[in-house]
Amino acid sequence: MKSTEKSKRYREKNREQLRLNAIKYREDNKEKIKERRQSKLSYYKKYKPDELKIKYKRNSLKKRYGITFEEYNEMFNKQEGKCGICKTPQIEIKKVFCVDHNHKTGKVRELLCQKCNVTLSYFENYDSKPYIEYLNKHKEKLN
């Protein structure tokens, strides 16, 4: 019998005890674990900052919007690297696009530049009719 099979059976048989051991270890070694994490974080900040940014982006996308980094990139490519509203390319903006989503349902819509995302939030949260009327009232005649 292979050792990996033995290990697997052992873990299955002793799952609860192993879980309790892990909890106890984390409680008894909080400082040691904290130092190890800080050391690893310092290493990534100094030697692999791009990897760290991607890791944070991956975690943030999943946690906040329920999408993967790959799904974000698919949306970006589908939109041809342009804002979903103003169509400005991200290269011109020099900032990562915001993930536009419905705040009530959490459903992701498209990627937007920050300016369009903030503007859209005003239209979503307030009655937009007075703003549109105001703009129409002061619209300059082009002809």
The domain that holds 114 is classified in CATH as: 3.40.1800.10
121: pLDDT strictly greater than 80? yes
Predicted confidence (pLDDT) per residue in 92-102, tens digit: 987 889 999 98
Report if residue 5 sits inside a domain.
Answer: no
Burial tier of 34 (Cβ tally within 10 Å: 0-12, 13-18, 19+):
exposed
Does residue 66 share a domain with residue 30? no
Task: Write the CB contacts of 57 (distance below 8 Å, at least 6 apart in sequence).
Answer: 69, 72, 96
Domain count of the fold of the chain: 2
Does residue 92 share a domain with residue 42? no
107: pLDDT strictly greater than 50? yes
1: pLDDT strictly greater than 70? no
Structure pTM? 0.58
Closest to 99 in 3D by CA, of 67, 131, 126, 125: 67
Domain that holds residue 25: 16-47
Give the tokens for residue 132: 């549109």
Does residue 123 share a domain with residue 60? yes
What's the mean pLDDT when you consider all of the chain? Answer: 86
Report if residue 6 sits inside a domain.
Answer: no
50: pLDDT strictly greater than 90? no
Report if residue 2 sits inside a domain.
Answer: no
For the segment 5-29, the average pLDDT, to the nearest whole number, is: 90
Does residue 24 share a domain with residue 54? no
Does residue 113 share a domain with residue 65? yes
Contact 98, 113 (CB under 8 A): yes
What pLDDT, on a 0 to 100 scale, did the predictor assign at position 143? 45
Does residue 36 share a domain with residue 101? no
Helix 30-47 / helix 15-28 crossing angle, nearest 10 deg:
80
Amino acid at 30: K
124: pLDDT strictly greater than 80? no
Rounded to 5°, the CA angle 117-136-134 comes to 70
Q: What percent of the chain has pLDDT over 90?
A: 38
Residue identified by tokens 């100094």 is: 46
Does residue 29 share a domain with residue 96? no
Does residue 88 share a domain with residue 73? yes
Report if residue 9 sits inside a domain.
Answer: no
Does residue 134 share a domain with residue 71? yes
